[in-house]
């Protein structure tokens, strides 16, 4: 199977799963996340943050990285390649923006689409294979480097 065919299957599977939801339920947001890795260290390190181009929702599992966690009036149903996960808590990632909180999430995931709407990013692979995210925390302006790991994931 070619990459384009695999992508078509994944998109169709996600659309089929989304069709299963009741269409009139305004309290459920549908999103997709696709964090995959076989590296147990990355998956168990609750301080690592994945910058994910394949996700359209930011979900964190480490409450210590968030401030002001609260119960949302909405539910996020995030579909993955292994099923779906529901989140109903949110919190503020200091210096960034509000994210979903779910202690059962496999990783701390920042959706690249969320980051690009709020912050400046750059990537110059001629210099270094990383994605630089420019953010401000308190009065400091910092650059966080999400470096490419062995499996092609970009982690902080």
Q: Which residue ranges make up each domain of the chain?
A: 3-155
Length of the chain counted residue by residue = 156
pLDDT string in tens for the chain (156-residue length): 333 333 343 344 444 444 444 444 555 555 444 444 444 444 557 888 999 988 889 999 999 999 999 999 999 888 877 778 889 999 999 888 999 999 988 889 999 999 999 999 999 999 999 999 997 766 677 888 999 888 788 888
Tokens of 138: 């308190």
50/30 Cα distance (integer angstroms): 20
pLDDT at 25: 53
CB 109 within 8 A of CB 35: yes
The per-residue DSSP string of 9-71 comes to HHHHHHHHHHHTS-TT-TTEEEEE-------HHHHH-TT-EEEETT-SS-EES-GGG-EEEEE
């Amino acid at each position: 199977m070619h990459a384009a065919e695999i992508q078509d299957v994944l998109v169709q599977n996600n659309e089929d799963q989304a069709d299963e939801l009741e269409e009139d339920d305004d309290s459920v947001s549908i999103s997709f996340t696709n964090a995959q890795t076989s590296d147990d260290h990355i998956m168990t390190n609750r301080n690592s943050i994945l910058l994910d181009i394949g996700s359209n929702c930011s979900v964190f599992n480490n409450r210590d990285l968030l401030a002001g966690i609260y119960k949302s009036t909405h539910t996020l149903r995030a579909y993955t390649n292994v099923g779906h996960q529901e989140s109903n808590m949110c919190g503020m990632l200091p210096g960034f923006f509000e994210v979903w909180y779910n202690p059962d999430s496999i990783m701390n995931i920042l959706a690249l689409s969320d980051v690009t709407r709020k912050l400046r990013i750059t990537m110059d692979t001629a210099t270094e294979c990383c994605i630089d995210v420019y953010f401000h925390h308190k009065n400091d302006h910092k650059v966080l480097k999400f470096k490419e790991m062995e499996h092609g994931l970009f982690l902080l």
